Structure 1
Amino acid sequence: MRIQYVLAPGWTDDLESVDAQGGFVAGLGAVEQVDVLPFHKLGAAKYEALGILFPLLDNPVPDLDLIENVRERFMRHGVQAY
């Protein structure tokens, strides 16, 4: 099984929660890897074209240090993270 973890600053970047997730995922025993997916705004233009407000337009994207920190935290629990 592969887990996809969307990393969105202000939403899923609390490092204590990431550690808790890492412990949970490691305890499942069937997880091959966790894919840390950094939040991006590539879909914002689609929302605009449809006349819909993109709810996370003002949300920052994660920086490389945060992405690597989250990956390392999963790996500390013995889970491969990319």
Structure 2
Amino acid sequence: PGLTDDPDNVAGVAKFVAPMKNVEWVEVLPFHQMGAFKWKDLGLDYQLAGTPPASPELVSRVLGQFRDAGCNAR
């Protein structure tokens, strides 16, 4: 959330992908923190630690944008 989900960015990606005949669907994968422990285990700084998970409303909006552009989104 807040990195690649800007409405204009999503619209641009959807417009780019929609005419591609070889793309069967777009899989919208909501951001989560499930893998954060791996960064710690590797001794690396996890720069997305403060990023909240995607809300259902955000996911719904992004799915709708892809579908409105003609993409099979799930």
Of 34, 38, 56 in structure 2, the residue corresponding to residue 42 of structure 1 is: 34
Q: Which has the higher strand share?
A: 1
Determine the C-alpha separation between the residues in 1 that align with 2:48 and 2:42. Answer: 16
Determine the C-alpha separation between the residues in 2 that align with 1:12 and 1:49. Answer: 27
Determine the C-alpha separation between the residues in 2 that align with 1:46 and 1:77. Answer: 36
Of 17, 20, 30 in structure 2, the residue corresponding to residue 28 of structure 1 is: 20
Structure 1 segment 2-81 matched on structure 2, within 5 A: 9-81=1-73
SS of the counterpart of 1:35? Answer: coil
Unaligned runs of 5+ in 2: none
Offset, 1:31:
1.2
Higher relative contact order (CA 8 A, sep 6+): 2
Q: TM-score, normalised by structure 2?
A: 0.92
Unaligned runs of 5+ in 1: 1-8
Determine the C-alpha separation between the residues in 2 that align with 1:46 and 1:58. Answer: 16
Q: TM-score, normalised by structure 1?
A: 0.84
SS of the counterpart of 1:12? Answer: coil
Runs of 4+ in structure 1 off by over 6 angstroms are none
Offset, 1:53:
1.2
